[in-house]
Structure 1
Amino acid sequence: MLPTVINLVRWQRIVLLPVAVLLTSVAVAASDVTNSSAWADVTARLTRPMLESGPLPRPAEDAPVSEFQAWIAQEANAVLKVETEGLLSGDFTTYALGAMPDDPLVRESLKSRFRTLRELKVTRFDQRIDGQPYVLPGRDSWRVVVIADHCFVETDCATDEAVFDSRWKVTPDGLKLTGFRVHDRTHPCFSCSSSRSAIVARPWETTELVAKVGKRTLVAVPLKYRARLAELAARAESAAVIADRYQVGDGKVDRYRLFIADPVSCSQWYYGYPGAWAAGLAAPTGPNRIEVEAAESALTPGYADELLTHELAHVSTLRNDTTYGQDDVWFLVEGMAEYVMQQGVGGKEYRRGTVVRHLTQQRPLRSVMVQPPAFDADLVDAQARYAVGYYALEYLFKHYGKTKTLAFFRGAVQYGIGLDGASQSAFGKPWAKVDRECAAYVRKL
């Protein structure tokens, strides 16, 4: 397992780099004090036409912080390019060439990350620095934020930018990588290509994984669950077949990415601990990418297929969305996933009717626009809210048909035109009237 640090310190930006320094920092070169033959070979392979000023020399010890920032950026860029080269070619020696030598913890951390990304069949890992380097206490240690636009399995995929921190140390032999850390998601990404690139902790950042590629899925598990990988991958393939029937949006999902979490990982991955009542989650990571996390403890023989189908349904119906996560459409988002899930259970009756009655006995149900469960909600309350969404979608599919219902969902969730606008467009009547119809259907259960 990789060392995991979710750093709560708010790092201070020291100074903005002048434009001229930013321009010169794109030149790639090794430290002028490094005489390693291996590094010299790397430098030769990376050298490209330099600006007139050439590569930046190592600053003097008393140089301004801004000079060190420009040099650190230059050297870190060189190391990251070599690291990517080693990763994609499967050469760990090259991958770890710029790391702190003779540090077993750093080396083991890099090995774990390297093995995991190779297991995930990484095909693209374009790394670049975001913003400027941040000096840490002691001045010889630095934090550099990295953006990695990456693909797994396919050689071309939708933009998917992971944002993470790298740590560096200035040594007599130049700048050396000392490891990676999870990025504080409250800090913005300055140069992500999409404003919808999510700053979340990816599973491969914190946990060593093994993976299996199927026709439609990529399934990864922590090492302790290796024995379950084949079984869960087969279940995921079956769930993907069902989810594919309810795709909303342009084009087909290129591949469903599913990560199985242990109790520790549940608190580390994506947005952290999802709540006591959550067995899985769908995490939007980019403008056209959603990844799935499912708790291994919930993947029992009697529930695994339902859970996986529910989560993959989120992927197939929420790509390109603009309002996922907003409370007014929450019942639609979860109701759709529950409805798709139910299509794969072989005619088994949806089992939460009694739970809905529990909710309606507390107060009259006048609208199906229920709010999400509280973070600390009990399981019965959470299930009841999901069930209201399910039965609302069941009514829409029965009464208006699949084509109109999916069009309504797309307008309300993906296009964000509002429930009333989507209802008028798809059903030819205001949402208030359709909402009353759905609520009456649920009350009769």
Structure 2
Amino acid sequence: MTGGQRPARRLRPLWVALAAVVVLLACGVPTALVAGLVRADDPRAPGSSAGRAEDPAAEAARRLGERMVAELARQSAALLGGDRAGFLAVAEPVAHPELRRRYAALRALRVTAWQADANGLPAPVEGRAGEWRLPVEFRYCFVAPGCRTSRVLTETRWREGERPRLLAVEPSRSAATGTRPWEVSEMAVAVGPRTLVATTPALRKKLPGLLAQAEAAARIADTYAVDGRTPDRYRIFYAGRGEWQRWYGGGRPKWTGGYAVTVGGGHHEVVLNADGLVTGAVDDLLRHELTHAATLPERGYPGKGTWWLVEGLAEYAGADGAPIDRYAGLAEVRRLLGGGWDGRLDSLGAADDAPADRVSASYGVSYLAVRHLIDRFGPERLLAFFAAVVHERVPVDQAAERTLDEPWSALHDECVGYVRAVVA
């Protein structure tokens, strides 16, 4: 999810327009096979109830799974303890190069929690005697101890034995979130009081400047946190050309400069497109994306009809109090109002294949509508309206009556009238 830029700095509109992307994490169902920290309320694995008869093959698989989980518990403890040799010790040498890279990336990201939960029973690998697959859900925290963990589901491959040996950990291919950066890339990392910024070693020199910009953006984003619940750390990944196509599944619209993706545990990880940003655009983009991370619920927003509110608030934060005439998208807004829009805020969402000027206009109208509501009611009441619509999923007309004390039909027309007046 993303925002627009200021006119004086908008050198390449196609690449500084920003995407409205919120992705929900598809979490697996936890079982009783847990490595690392175990919650007391985790449900039992299917077939584990006392006294229940169990198929001999299923019993053997369950016991094998328990031994695999024990190895993952050792590996988790080694990772958190900074013991690379112990982290590698559970695996065959064929897996060591990839595991060394993963270990280094997670340690660079200052991993503070790492749990590996079996997400089912192991299954034999067809055509490979003695090899098994086990679906595993990894839960992780970075920097902040005791945070609510984010989750990623992946496949592991093992060789059977008294102590099973890990052969491979595959990158996740979740349709919801795709592959995390630390699963497939080396990481260079900088950490500040409010942010974590990571990129590849090739772009390491960008980190000091990015960290300073991210910290400044975080101070703005914190002020928009719904109910004052700010993220423990804003997680930002700066993607080069290859990483942009690979991290979190790639495949973003061409006009995307950045986006925020929900990864569970109340966390939204922000990705910036290094190739798509012009000089001076990063500050606005970071304020926009971190505001998404501060304001969006874990399950994402209700649908396209609320796109204007979600993006308008992020654009407002991105503008950071700049005068309206410095907003980059006014010319595009003027053209959109001249034709091609039905005048409804709930129809503003831009399609993935939309031309850049249409995208910029959609963001611009959303920004102006939210700006008008804040000018009229103040930021606190606007955030209450936002919380009702986006977090509680209250219909917008009911939310307006409850938080703004006015009928939404009149306010909607007032917002559109304001937009038309600004660009007249």
TM-score (normalizing by structure 2): 0.82
Closer/same/farther in 2, CA of residues 346 and 301 from structure 1, 3 Å limit: farther
Q: Deviations over 1:311-334 (max 9, x none)?
A: 00101111x355516111111111
Letter in 1 for 2:250: G
Q: 1:167 offset after TM fit, Å?
A: 1.8
Select the residue among 355, 367, 379 that pairs with 1:402.
379
Query: Is contact 1:322-1:413 (8 Å) kept?
Result: no
Say if 2:99 is the partner of 1:110.
yes
Once the two structures are overlaid, the 10-residue window that deviates more, 131-140 or 336-345, is 131-140
Q: What's the counterpart of residue 340 of structure 1?
A: 317
Choose between structure 1 and 2 for higher RCO, CA contacts under 8 A separated by at least 6 residues.
2
Aligned pairs, how many?
Answer: 375
Structure 1 gap segments, 5+ residues each = 1-21, 29-50, 54-62, 187-197
**SS of corresponding position for 1:275:** coil
Q: 1:147 aligns with which of 127, 133, 137?
A: 137
Q: Residue 201 in 1 paired to residue 193 in 2?
A: no
Q: What residue in structure 2 maps to residue 382 of structure 1?
A: 359
- Shift in alpha-carbon separation, 1:324–1:258, aligned structure 2, 3 A: same
> 1:182 is paired with a residue of what secondary structure?
coil
RMSD between superposed Cα atoms in Å: 2.5
> Which residue of the partner structure matches residue 73 of structure 1?
65
Q: Which runs of 4+ in 1 moved over 4 A?
A: 25-28, 344-348
Aligned to 2:172: 183
2:369 partner letter? A
Q: Secondary structure at the match of 2:230?
A: coil
Q: Distance in 2 between matches of 1:247 and 1:26?
A: 33
Write the distance in 1 (CA, Å) between the matches of 2:34 and 2:361.
55
From 222, 234, 252, give the equivalent of 1:274: 252
> Matched residue of 1:132: which SS?
coil
Which residue identity is paired with 1:100? E
TM-score (norm 1): 0.78
Identify the residue that residue 441 of structure 1 maps to in structure 2: 418
Between the aligned partners of 2:381 and 2:211, the Cα distance in structure 1 is 33
Is contact 2:35–2:72 with CA below 8 Å preserved after alignment? Answer: no
Structure 1 position 94 matched with structure 2 position 122: no
Overall identity of the aligned pairs, in %: 33
Alpha-carbon separation, structure 2, partners of 1:289 and 1:394: 26
Kindly provide the CA deviation profile for residues 1-51 of structure 1, in whole angstroms up to 9, marking residues without a partner as x.
Answer: xxxxxxxxxxxxxxxxxxxxx98x7799xxxxxxxxxxxxxxxxxxxxxx9
* Cα displacement (A) at 1:348: 7.2
- CA–CA separation in structure 2 for the residues paired with 1:324 and 1:27: 33
Q: Structure 2 stretches of 5 or more lacking a match?
A: 1-30, 37-47
SS of residue paired to 2:413: helix
Q: Who is 1:35 aligned against?
A: none
SS of match in other structure, 1:246: coil
Match status 1:413 vs 2:369: no
Larger Rg: 1
CA-CA distance at 1:250 after TM superposition? 4.6
Match in the other structure for 2:13: none
Task: Indicate the residue corresponding to 2:146 in structure 1.
Answer: 156
**Relative to structure 2, which stretch is displaced further, 308-317 or 243-252?**
243-252
Q: Which residue of 1 aligns with 2:216?
A: 238
* Pairing 1:316–2:294 present: yes
Per-residue deviation, residues 208-238 of structure 1 (Å, max 9, x unmatched):
1111110100110111111111111111011
